[in-house]
């Protein structure tokens, strides 16, 4: 990918954002990801699986021969339907579970629905997330902002994971989604960065707790990745330079993040990997 290919015209949406209006269209690996059966027979639940990184992971998992359930907000149904189509083109089953994970009952029911429809659960990807970067100061963060960010990014992770542990067994894998913001926080993303730092700690602690049960827990920390979250939550003027501050000089595409999830999910590649945060950041350090 050349630097000129990665310039984004100024654009803006309202959250949660959809894929279709984005220019250029994100690459989720639709034409590039080639599977090799690494997840054959597995059943995966991906929160926020309708678009962005979640869609790329769903496509990759399906092409690795896993069945997939994706949780999405009802207003994101057009994206969810498209993701399901790509999963089904790979010959795998896709269960669509609309839910607002900020509600504990909905979050727990989403897991139960996914496990019932899939006939079990082997892999959990806690990907759903929210940020709001259109502010200038900590003083601009309202309690409503905190509730939306912490409940989406952190509370939901606890509720979903607690419920999933009723179904996961030895050989299962939990993959959380952290962020470069946990290591290099932007001033406008104070609340978001706080949740991602917490997710790193959850990952390490839970990996220690579940190791004796044979359940591995890891996280992926993406850098700036071109997903609907960006035009839906960033100031319009920042979109055009999105990702230009990385050592690689550009934003990443969801397709460039998905293989990290496959690596961590598969016993054949990561059977001795747990409690780890894997950075996919365009060269930004995660330490």
Active site residues: 192
SS3 254: helix
SS3 70: strand
Q: What is the DSSP letter of 200?
A: H
Q: What are the contacts of 74-80 at 24+ separation with CB within 8 A?
A: 74/98, 74/100, 75/16, 76/16, 76/18, 76/50, 76/51, 77/50, 78/18, 78/20, 79/18, 79/19, 79/20, 79/50, 79/51, 79/55, 79/228, 80/49, 80/50
* Secondary-structure breakdown of the chain: helix, strand, coil percentages, each rounded to the nearest 5: 45, 15, 45
**Residue 51: HSE in the Cβ half-sphere, 13 Å Cα cutoff:** 26
Phi, psi (rounded to 5 degrees) for 160? -65, -45
């Amino acid at each position: 990918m050349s630097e000129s290919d990665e310039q984004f015209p100024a654009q803006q949406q309202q959250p949660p954002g959809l894929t279709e209006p984005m220019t250029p269209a994100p690459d989720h690996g639709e034409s590039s990801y080639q599977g090799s059966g690494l997840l054959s027979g597995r059943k995966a639940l991906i929160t926020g699986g309708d678009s962005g990184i979640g869609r790329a992971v769903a496509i990759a998992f399906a092409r690795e021969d896993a069945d997939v359930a994706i949780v999405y907000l009802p207003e994101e149904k057009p994206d969810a339907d498209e993701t399901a189509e790509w999963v089904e083109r790979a010959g795998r089953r896709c269960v669509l579970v609309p839910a607002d994970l900020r509600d504990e009952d909905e979050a727990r029911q989403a897991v139960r629905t996914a496990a019932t429809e899939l006939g079990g659960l082997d892999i959990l990807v806690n990907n759903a997330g929210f940020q709001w970067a259109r502010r200038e100061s900590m003083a601009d963060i309202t309690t409503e902002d905190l509730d939306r960010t912490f409940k989406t990014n952190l509370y939901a992770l606890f509720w979903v994971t607690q419920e999933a542990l009723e179904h996961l067994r030895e050989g299962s894998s939990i993959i959380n989604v952290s962020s470069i913001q946990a290591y290099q926080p932007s001033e406008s993303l104070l609340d978001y960065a706080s949740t991602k730092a917490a997710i790193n700690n959850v990952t390490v602690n839970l990996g220690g707790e579940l190791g004796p049960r044979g359940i591995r827990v890891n996280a992926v920390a993406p850098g700036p990745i071109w997903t609907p979250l960006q035009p839906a939550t960033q100031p319009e003027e920042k979109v055009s330079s999105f990702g230009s501050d990385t050592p690689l000089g550009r934003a990443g595409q969801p397709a460039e993040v998905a293989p990290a999830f496959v690596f961590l999910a598969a016993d054949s590649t990561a059977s001795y990997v747990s409690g780890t945060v894997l950075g996919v950041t365009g060269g930004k350090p995660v330490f």
